[in-house]
Structure formats: C-alpha cells, structure tokens
Amino acid sequence: MNDKPCILIVDDEPIIQQTLAALLPLETYEVHHARDGAEGLAKAIALQPDAILLDIMLPRVDGLAVCRRLREHPLLAEVPILMITSLDDRATRLAGLEAGADDFLTKPFDTLELLARLKTITRLNRYRRLIEQRDRLARMNEELRAAYQQTIEGWSQALDLRDHETVGHTRRVTEMTVRLARLAGVEEDSIEHIRRGAILHDIGKMGIPDSILHKTGPLTEEEWKIMRQHPVYAYEWLSHIDYLRPALDIPYCHHEHWDGSGYPRGLKGEQIPLAARLFTLADVWDALRSDRPYRHTMPERDTLIYIETQKGLLFDPELTKIFIKNIRQII
C-alpha cells in the first residue's frame, strides 16, 4: 500500500479532469485519469485505487454501467465510488445507488466538500484494506501452524510405525503431560510448546539402528551408549528449526533425573527444564502401564507406589505430589 491514497478520475471532459487534479494536492494524493468507461475499468483493475471519481455521462460505456462492472469485480467490489453528475434529480441518484455508488458530487464542485469527502472515504477504505490484510495474514499464519503440526505428527507416527512396542504411547503421554502442566499452573502460552515437545519426545530414536531399537534382550554397554544418544540427536536435528526450538526441552531432557543420575547431561533438580520434569512422570506411568515383550503391565496401584518411591530420585517431588493427587484426572 502506497503512502499516498490513489485516486482515479474517470471523466471525458478535460476541463473536469484538470479541475479535479488541481483540487487534489500532489503531496497528499496520487492522481490518475481515464477518459471513458473502458479505460476506467482497465485502470481501476491495474491500480486498485483508494477511491474512484466516476462521471455518469461517459462515451461508449456510461458511468452507471462502469459502476456495476466495478462492483462485480472481486478486487474492486469495496472501492469507494463517488459519482460525478451535473444532474441533481432523485431518479439519477437512485440509479447510481442501485449501481453501487457510495456518494455523489454535483457539478460545479464545492472544493471543501470534495476534499472532506475524499479524506473520509480514503481513510475508511485504507482501514478496511488493513483489516483485510491483517485477517489474511492471520489465516496464512494459522494454515502454516496447521501444516507444521501435521508435519510434527507425521514424524511421530513414522517413529511409532518403526517402534511397534510404542504405538499409541506418544498420543497418551502427550495428553497426560498437557493435563499435568495445566494442573501445575503452566501458562497457556507455553502449553503448545509442551505439546509439540511431547509429540517429538523420542524423535531422536530415528537415528538409532534397528538392531538396537528392536532388540528384545538386554542391551550391551556399547549399545546403551548408542541408545543414550537419541536425546542428543533430537537436539541436533531440531535446534536449527526456529519454530521448534521452544519445544526442545522434552526431546532433549526427558531422560534427566531429579537426583542427577539421568542422561545425556546429568542435569539435577531444577536444572532440568520444567517441561521435561512434567513429561517424565507421564512417560514412566505409561511405560509401566503398557505391555512389553520383556514384562507385563504393572497394576495401577503398584505403578503409583513405584512413582511415589521415586519422588526426589527420578521425579520432581512437588510435581509428583500433583501427579499422584490428580491421577484420575490426568489419565
């Protein structure tokens, strides 16, 4: 949008064009001219002006027909149109209004009236266009957010398909983590980052060989070293994506333990990001409450007892209290 409002004058009389142009200061308006209806339509489409001064009595295509055509065009349907007429009768004004005119100027012009009307309608039109641009940007932003979310979920589903033991695990722990975060008083602005981080919590396992990821027996020490790299892989892959950087705490830190015994960095206590401390509780709960080839599902009561015993060891003590107190709501 230009700094100066764009005015298109459609009139076949050179003296009217010159008069109007003289009345509109060049430092305030960008003024363009058309000599007949056909040229006016073409220039209106090309310029998309802030206002159109349109004579009724035009050669070939009269102003009423031009006005109707302008109102049918998707880019020009809302552009303010001031119809110029030497006729000051009711029938002419009604015909102009039915064609889509917004206002009328009667020859000869009252200079102050003309400037006042133009100032008002160009300001309102610019405001309308700004609102449309804002709404369009908001829609584009929402579409982009949806595309990002679909991509993230696609990555997670790809990992679930690769690791058959964890099918459904990501969905469950994501919802549990979000519920726990809200119970812990996390602000809504941070919830979406927590949700994305939970969805992507094990994305680093895409870098772990199948021979290790799918091994049914105990891992060797060397295999454990490789497995413990998956949070590092997640950090290396995602930290370069601005959109996902705020969600990195869970993929990078969800194997850190409150007592400092976790990996990959051995963080301790509140050194561990809050999102990761929340997620760890949901992750361990779901892992223990799910069947695995190497063990059966742990009963709910025993799972709660285990989590209680790990308070201050694996888990944040205060978050553990909230988790146990609200377990029915969380699961």
pLDDT of 182: 97
31 bridge partner residues: 7
**Spans of all domains in the chain:** 6-135, 163-330
Classify residue 273 by its DSSP letter.
-
Instruction: Count CB-CB contacts under 10 A for residue 130.
Output: 11
pLDDT of 68: 93
- How many Å apart are CA 145 and CA 214, to the nearest integer? 33
Fold of 163-330: Hypothetical protein af1432 (1.10.3210)
54 bridge partner residues: 10, 83
* pLDDT block averages, 10 residues each, the chain of length 331: 81 83 80 90 91 87 90 88 79 86 80 80 78 82 78 74 68 95 95 94 90 85 94 92 91 97 96 98 93 75 96 97 96 88
Residue 289's nearest CA partner among 194, 168, 197, 155 is 168
Cross-sheet strand order for the sheet of 30-34: 30-34, 6-10, 51-55, 81-85, 103-106
Residues, the chain: 331
pLDDT of 4: 84
Helix ranges (H only) for the chain are 14-23, 37-47, 63-72, 90-99, 111-162, 169-183, 188-199, 210-213, 221-227, 230-238, 249-253, 274-288, 300-309, 317-325, 327-330
Check: CB of residue 191 under 8 Å from CB of residue 182: yes
Cβ-Cβ contacts under 8 Å for 213 (sequence gap 6 or more): 162, 163, 205, 227
pTM: predicted TM-score of the whole model, two decimal places:
0.61
Residue 289's nearest CA partner among 139, 173, 136, 125 is 173
Mapped onto helix, strand or coil, the DSSP state of residue 155 is helix
**Distances from the Cα of 184 to the Cαs of 93, 277, 319, in angstroms?**
66, 11, 7
Q: What is the per-residue DSSP string for 274-309? A: HHHHHHHHHHHHHHHTS-BTTBPPPPHHHHHHHHHH
- With b for 16 or more beta-carbon neighbours within 10 A and e for fewer, the 55-81 pattern comes to bbebeeebbbebbebbeeeeebeebbb
pLDDT of 230: 95
- With b for 16 or more beta-carbon neighbours within 10 A and e for fewer, the 192-225 pattern comes to ebbbbbbbbbbbbbbebeeebbeeeeeeeeebee
pLDDT of 299: 92
**Domain range 6-135, CATH architecture:** 3-Layer(aba) Sandwich (3.40)
pLDDT of 103: 83
